[in-house]
Chains A and B, each alone.
Chain A
């Protein structure tokens, strides 16, 4: 009986449709408003260089957030992504440095080492995701607990690997590898292209494939999905692997920036990624969400801190408060959207 009433309402009232569209556009409107404010406060905000800076630094969180969107839509959560990124970065640097010293007397070409390092990062991400997925589906443990556990485990192992200090990439390798972060293609930094690619792939998988529909179905109602013969465990496991691979890709872009990993690498990235997903309009309880929303959410978050850095009208002590207010305001814009 309820669906009939909502149907007639939306059909009969054009204004309501418009209103719900505006609510759906909440994150985008928020972003546009922020950009206008930013430009008014400091003309340099709108400069191409600044835009590129902001988008490039969004790439890490953005790529992770795309993977996180799948996990959250399926009704899960992953708190470990920041630590995972840090550990992958650490392992990658450690492994590449070891290779640079020669394997069994054979010296590898620096380019081969970099390629091997990149492959390792992505494989490691997938393996970590697989472990999460197995513990959650076969082990039947809450994702919150599993990933809270690995959050600590991953970071502890990085700290151990780095001996508490910093792991720094061999300088020849670092020089060869640095274009992956710093180079531009058609005037646009490389990480932005990868971010775009990951986002498009994510949107296609979510909206145009059976897998994507199954992810959404499981998030809305896991029990009914089981009855509908969806391989729930397999799909859930795949979302964690997908997220792991996204973390691997983000790390591949991250390592060449500073060429080092420290125990503070990737601190609180998990919260930024989850915030980007939720600000972008994905329901934290699962069931539905959009990749484009996540992308806008991620950009919105880095634009806020960019504007705060470009101005000094607000005391630095209050930076976090400004971020909090904007996040709540954007969530308010899309309240009640079903």
Chain B
């Protein structure tokens, strides 16, 4: 009984290995979150752009893009892509780390080449390559920029995103820089949920509570919009800088045009890394080479000098 299963299993394995080689056709499955806010809609836009560009450049290549709203839905899509679409390469932006590790591992065990994007899985065994944005730089660069422009002294308030590992990494990197600048006081840090309305409320209350604020690290371009509305409403002039983050096109445009005295710099965390991840994976697979185990797409400081490179008017983000 046992040996029969083993033989059968070996047979299936051999057949699947054969089919990949015989077909020589690359079928890339792309699993990403649905567009629920600007950032994820950017992810969807860039994934579809990668599909169009790459399928045009490499005839015969097939890229299947699937969006999911929840982790269970994404896990189901992985099964569908494997059995129905017969993918042999997977690029996945996991909706949740822990709950998708097992489903992705199963796909990899069937011989599919797996690239994980942005949100890491709980074990690296389930992936061949990992491509992500740089969350440490996302916190470190704004902190260094603010410390420099504030000449090492003043008061800062912080808005955080949602309680996630990604947010913690950014926050820890920011506060680490601030520890080295004892002249700067971080008054408080509260969650604004990456949401304009929540950021507006939190900022209103900061303004009530603190009579003198020099700079705001809003940590997100959407939140920066809510923050600025609250500042305008309170007619406060003590705040000299509002630092967003992620490089949404509206914010980058402000920096490019120099139209807003409060917004002078930003840090890139573009959903374009989805495009890069699909492109790098597909090209490596076509050439038969391997991707490095870990690729970090660097986050860079956006100022007026380089803003143009980060402005994508067609993207919804």
CB distance from B311 to the nearest CB of A (A): 15
A310 contacts B222, C-beta separation under 8 Å: no
A47 CA / B209 CA spacing, docked (Å): 10
Q: Is A149 on the interface with B (CB-CB < 8 A)? A: no
A260 CA / B189 CA spacing, docked (Å): 25
A47 contacts B208, C-beta separation under 8 Å: yes
**Which residues of chain B are near A317, meaning CB under 8 Å?**
163
Q: Is A207 on the interface with B (CB-CB < 8 A)? A: no
Q: Is B3 on the interface with A (CB-CB < 8 A)? A: no
Q: Is A267 on the interface with B (CB-CB < 8 A)? A: yes
Which of A163, A164, A316 lies in contact with B189, CB distance below 8 A?
Answer: A316
B316 contacts A164, C-beta separation under 8 Å: yes
Chain B residue nearest in CB terms to A317: B163
Contacts of A87-141 to chain B: CB distance below 8 A: none
**Which residues of chain A are near B163, meaning CB under 8 Å?**
317
A165 contacts B316, C-beta separation under 8 Å: yes
A312 CA / B189 CA spacing, docked (Å): 9
A44 CA / B225 CA spacing, docked (Å): 25
Number of interface residues of B (CB under 8 A): 37
- Chain A, interface size category, equals 20 to 34
Which of B36, B41, B188, B205 lies in contact with A53, CB distance below 8 A?
Answer: B205
Q: Is B195 on the interface with A (CB-CB < 8 A)? A: yes
**Which residues of chain B are near A47, meaning CB under 8 Å?**
208
**Which residues of chain B are near A159, meaning CB under 8 Å?**
35-36, 41
Which of B45, B195, B229 lies in contact with A257, CB distance below 8 A?
Answer: B229
A53-B35 in contact given A165-B316, A316-B160 (Cβ < 8 Å): no
B209 contacts A310, C-beta separation under 8 Å: yes
A264-B209 in contact given A165-B41, A258-B200 (Cβ < 8 Å): no
Q: Is B79 on the interface with A (CB-CB < 8 A)? A: no
**Which residues of chain A are near B195, meaning CB under 8 Å?**
262, 264, 267
**Which residues of chain B are near A316, meaning CB under 8 Å?**
160, 189-191
A262 contacts B196, C-beta separation under 8 Å: yes
Which of A42, A163, A258 lies in contact with B225, CB distance below 8 A?
Answer: A258
A162 CA / B45 CA spacing, docked (Å): 13
CB distance from A233 to the nearest CB of B (A): 35
Q: Is A21 on the interface with B (CB-CB < 8 A)? A: no
A312 CA / B206 CA spacing, docked (Å): 11
**Which residues of chain B are near A168, meaning CB under 8 Å?**
250
A49 CA / B209 CA spacing, docked (Å): 11
A305-B201 in contact given A258-B225, A258-B226 (Cβ < 8 Å): yes
A262 contacts B222, C-beta separation under 8 Å: yes
Q: Is A166 on the interface with B (CB-CB < 8 A)? A: yes
A263-B209 in contact given A163-B316, A257-B200 (Cβ < 8 Å): no
B197 contacts A310, C-beta separation under 8 Å: no
Q: Is B38 on the interface with A (CB-CB < 8 A)? A: yes
Contacts of B183-202 to chain A: CB distance below 8 A: 188-191, 193-197, 200-202
Instruction: Please list 15 pairs of residues, one from A and one from B, whose beta carbons are closer than 8 Å in the complex, sorted by A's number.
Output: A53-B204, A162-B316, A164-B35, A164-B42, A258-B197, A260-B196, A263-B36, A264-B36, A264-B194, A264-B195, A267-B195, A309-B202, A309-B205, A316-B160, A317-B163
**With A264-B37, A264-B194 already in contact, 20 other A-B pairs whose C-beta atoms are closer than 8 Å:** A42-B209, A44-B208, A50-B205, A53-B208, A159-B35, A164-B316, A258-B197, A260-B225, A263-B35, A263-B41, A265-B197, A305-B201, A309-B201, A309-B202, A309-B206, A309-B209, A312-B188, A316-B160, A316-B191, A317-B163
Identify the 9 closest CB pairs spanning chains A and B, nearest first: A164-B41, A164-B35, A165-B316, A309-B205, A50-B208, A163-B316, A165-B38, A264-B195, A53-B204
